[in-house]
């Protein structure tokens, strides 16, 4: 059972906007920044969003992140078929759970 | 651009020792702003951070509580790589193991190694 809670699945049609939530606690999301990783089928995770809402070079601005309190969200606008992947949130945890904790991952299906 | 290349066996018997290596190109294992991590992924537990090594005037290691009693992560400066050693494996250690670079985020990942523990 993962320390951060994500919905197991999400879906949307091409062109739509979808959001994926990540819920934590005061020891992780509540006091530290959140990173998001995209994992395409059969590949290693790739950094998608860091420091809550920053995009690494090369990541389209269709991807955005936000954080409020002990929860974070990843939004994908203008959904494309190549966005079909697993998405994982991660945060530093100040408790014995840490130091790094992940969500269980959300499988995004593009309908 | 940092590249991480993993190597090591993929099949173990219970009680054996898991040993994986991650070769680094494009950065230095002893860089003062780098950290070198091992993370694993299984269907039952998702992504699980195992530990890291990093150099800040001297070498440091951090390990996850869940594996702290049986894990070692060591740097090898002569080969610019780092390694994972996990002792006394059980079938629950079956997972894809990744090395990854980064201190406040995991910027680069290795290709992953499927390790299966089975008698």
Looking only at the bridges linking them, the beta strands covering A9-12 and A34-39 are unpaired
- pLDDT (0 to 100) of residue B12: 96
For residue A98, what pLDDT is reported? 77
Angle at B9 between CA B3 and CA B10, to 5 degrees: 95
> B104 and A56: CB-CB below 8 Å?
no
Which residues on B lie below 8 Å from A37 (Cβ)?
47, 106
Q: What is the pLDDT along chain B (119 residues), one digit of tens a residue?
A: 999 999 999 899 999 999 999 999 999 999 988 999 999 999 999 999 999 999 999 999 999 999 999 999 999 999 999 999 999 999 999 999 999 999 999 999 999 999 999 99
| A45 to B45: CB separation less than 8 angstroms, yes or no | no
Report the b/e string of B53-92 with b at 16+ CB within 10 A: bbbeeeeeebbbeebeeebebebeeeeebbbbebeebeee
Residue B16 Cα, gap to closest chain A Cα (Å): 26
Task: Inform me whether the pLDDT recorded for A70 exceeds 90.
Answer: yes
Confidence of residue A91 (pLDDT cuts 50, 70, 90): very high
- Between positions 58 and 97 of A, the ones with CB within 8 A of B are 88, 90, 92, 96-97
Model confidence at A4, pLDDT cuts 50, 70, 90, reads very high
Instruction: Please give, rounded to a whole number of angstroms, the shortest distance from the CA of B15 to a CA of chain A.
Output: 24
Tell which phi-psi region holds residue B103, choosing left (phi > 0), alpha (psi between -120 and 50) or beta. Answer: alpha
- Dist. CA B62–CA B66, nearest whole Å: 12
Taking CA atoms, what residue in A is nearest to B104? Answer: A92
Q: What is the mean pLDDT of residues A84-102?
A: 93
């Amino acid at each position: 059972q993962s320390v951060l809670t994500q919905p197991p699945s999400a879906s949307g049609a091409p062109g739509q906007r979808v959001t994926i939530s990540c819920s934590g606690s005061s020891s992780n999301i509540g006091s530290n920044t959140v990173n998001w990783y995209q994992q395409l089928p059969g590949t290693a995770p790739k950094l998608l969003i860091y420091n809550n809402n920053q995009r690494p070079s090369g990541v389209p601005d269709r991807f955005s992140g936000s954080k409020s309190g002990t929860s974070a969200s990843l939004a994908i606008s203008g959904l494309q078929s190549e966005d079909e992947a697993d998405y994982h949130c991660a945060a530093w945890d100040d408790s014995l759970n840490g130091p790094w904790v992940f969500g269980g991952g959300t499988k995004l299906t593009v309908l | 651009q940092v590249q991480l290349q993993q190597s090591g066996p993929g099949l173990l018997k219970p009680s054996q020792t898991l040993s994986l290596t991650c070769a680094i190109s494009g950065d230095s294992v002893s860089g003062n702003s780098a950290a070198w991590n091992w993370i694993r992924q299984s269907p039952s537990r998702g992504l699980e951070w195992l530990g890291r090594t990093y150099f800040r005037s001297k070498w440091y290691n951090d390990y996850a509580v869940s594996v702290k009693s049986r894990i070692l992560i060591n740097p090898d400066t002569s080969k610019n790589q780092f390694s994972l050693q996990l002792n006394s494996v059980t079938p629950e250690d079956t997972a894809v193991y990744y090395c990854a670079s980064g201190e406040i985020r995991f910027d680069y990942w290795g290709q992953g190694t499927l390790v299966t523990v089975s008698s």
